[in-house]
Amino acid sequence: MSRLDNDVVLTLNRIWQPIATTGLRKAMNMVFRGRARVVDADTFQIFTWDQWLAEKAVAADNHVIERDYLRTATLFVRKPQVVTLARYAGYPNRGVPYSRRGVYERDSGRCQFCLEHVRKKDMTVDHILPQSRGGRTNWTNCVLACAGCNHRKADRLPHEVGMKLVREPFQPTREQLLLQGVDVPAAWRPFLDA
């Protein structure tokens, strides 16, 4: 069943704004339990699980593109790619609140000075303008740093120690954060901002 976990489903709120990427197993679970519906990314029709089975399953002796289907004993069922939550209509703010985890996602798990990959548990957040000089904890003053670079920079500005940021830090949108590091399938495009 591990293949189920390699497939990622775009989760929309009730008014079709992208709010999360979800493993296929979890997304299907939400649909089974009536908490979400499947969205057909071609026709924009929505389906309960029973409706999806009725429309999007074929007998297992058919030829299908296997990666697009789940195989049961007797059926190939088209894998859902997009689901919409039945109840939650919360509006995801454009401005995502600052968080350490968000810094990690925005910076793709790479130290913003040396580009070294940093494990989540080893991450440090570097304040570009150090806190000791009044630097704030926010999206534009904080970057992911490896322990070595953070230690080397310490309470100084990057140029004071001959260091350089690989990219200016920025305030990410929720969509940028949720799509970070995800291979975006074509089926999701109509549901995403340009």
Residues in contact with Zn ion by CB under 5 A are 111, 113-114, 116, 146, 149
Q: Which is nearer to Zn ion, 70 or 114 (CB)?
A: 114
Calpha distance 79→77 (Å, rounded): 6
Half-sphere exposure (Cβ direction) of 47: Cα atoms closer than 13 Å = 23
CB of 110 to Zn ion, least distance (A): 8
Nearer to Zn ion, 62 or 108 (CB): 108
β-partners of residue 84 are 12, 37
Alpha-carbon distance of 129 to 22, in angstroms, equals 36
Min. distance of Cβ 116 from Zn ion in angstroms?
Answer: 5
Nearer to Zn ion, 66 or 160 (CB): 160
Q: How far is the CB of 152 from Zn ion (least distance, A)?
A: 8
- Minimum distance of Zn ion from residue 63's CB (angstroms): 50
Q: How far is the CB of 113 from Zn ion (least distance, A)?
A: 5
Nearer to Zn ion, 165 or 177 (CB): 165
By beta-carbon proximity to Zn ion, the closer residue of 78 and 153 is 153
One DSSP character per residue, 91-138 reads PPPSSPPP-HHHHHHHTTTB-TTT--B--GGG-EEEESS-GGGT---S
Q: Tell me which DSSP letter residue 184 carries.
A: -
Q: Scan for tokens 């670079």, then name that residue.
A: 149
Q: What tokens does 107 get?
A: 């910076």
